[in-house]
Structure 1
């Protein structure tokens, strides 16, 4: 489970999005009504995984992959700030490239550097990184991103 995942409560009808990981046992979920509630990790299930099982989608690799040159890459990787309400802003990473990326995002302060989130971001997708208070704008930390572009590869069988 990670921030931004869609989840459904096991013993209730509510569903929502993970907005914060409190500790190793609890997460904060924002339900459809806009309320944020702390929930034990064992009390939620990730919706997207189960939807994939229901639709029966299978992923196979194509046999003929055309090589991608550096010149054919288009789009950008962007960081966006969205005002959630009058007190908080959310930070997003947006992949507008035509390839997937591996990313890691760190929060850098004077005392230390802390990993906020890392993972695979598919082309055309958005991931929520963190949430910050507007009242603390002057003390917002610097963000450090590391990005690796995952270009399609061509494997040739030598006989």
Structure 2
């Protein structure tokens, strides 16, 4: 067996290419979607060129079986403020726009100050990416920060349900700014973030004029300075070492008429939340129980794990306990 050989697993359907040899009589193979997994040498066999060409199985199409639903991340568009520390203190925050969805987002962002609008930036923000706007805002002038106006259009290639354009106004309030602290997705830094594609951010939009308490810039600065001295800005709920993603566990009261695609999204949202919390709380590893089924959920979990920069590797977990129905994730 050499690097570059095509191999297949003895107890699973995956095939891949040997990319390197690992300690402990293991090899690393690259399977579909470009991600790599460690496998024992005793669990794989080399596929000969003749076998690959002459005995390639033809795909079996069952016309009565419905097509597998496409798994798409629909939510996760954020405006984020990341502190810039200088000699242990925080004086300014830098502005990011983060797209943690599977959609491309042509967007514009600008400032509103009374009746005046100033454009700041525009571009196409690709799926699972972020952009640093270059704008910085000082804590000493927090009470004079503008209202941020973000406009975006949802775009994906191919046929799909049309989504209405997004228009969101965000006005940061001193009374609630600290409550928006947390890890910023994709950027992987602590900061203050406002989710733009959910309705609860409406609390930060301009409301009817009312008397507000004076902003204590010193107190706000000190609270942010304390945040940079910690690995986690706010307490993060530490998930269980084993997370069951079976839909019966996630929806114990019933499915409520949801479609298969809806149920898959619920499972993926539970996976993303528990993985992010495991990373943020400093766990070494976490196991997701996804079952065997038709492999749609397992394959999507593996695809996302293969792209996550905080994942060292992942593998089938305790086959004698879970069979091939669980994946163990080792966190960096």
Larger relative helix fraction: 2
Q: Which has the higher strand share?
A: 1
TM-score (normalizing by structure 2): 0.25
RCO higher in structure (CA 8 A, sep ≥6): 1
Q: What is the TM-score when the length of structure 1 is the normalising length?
A: 0.50
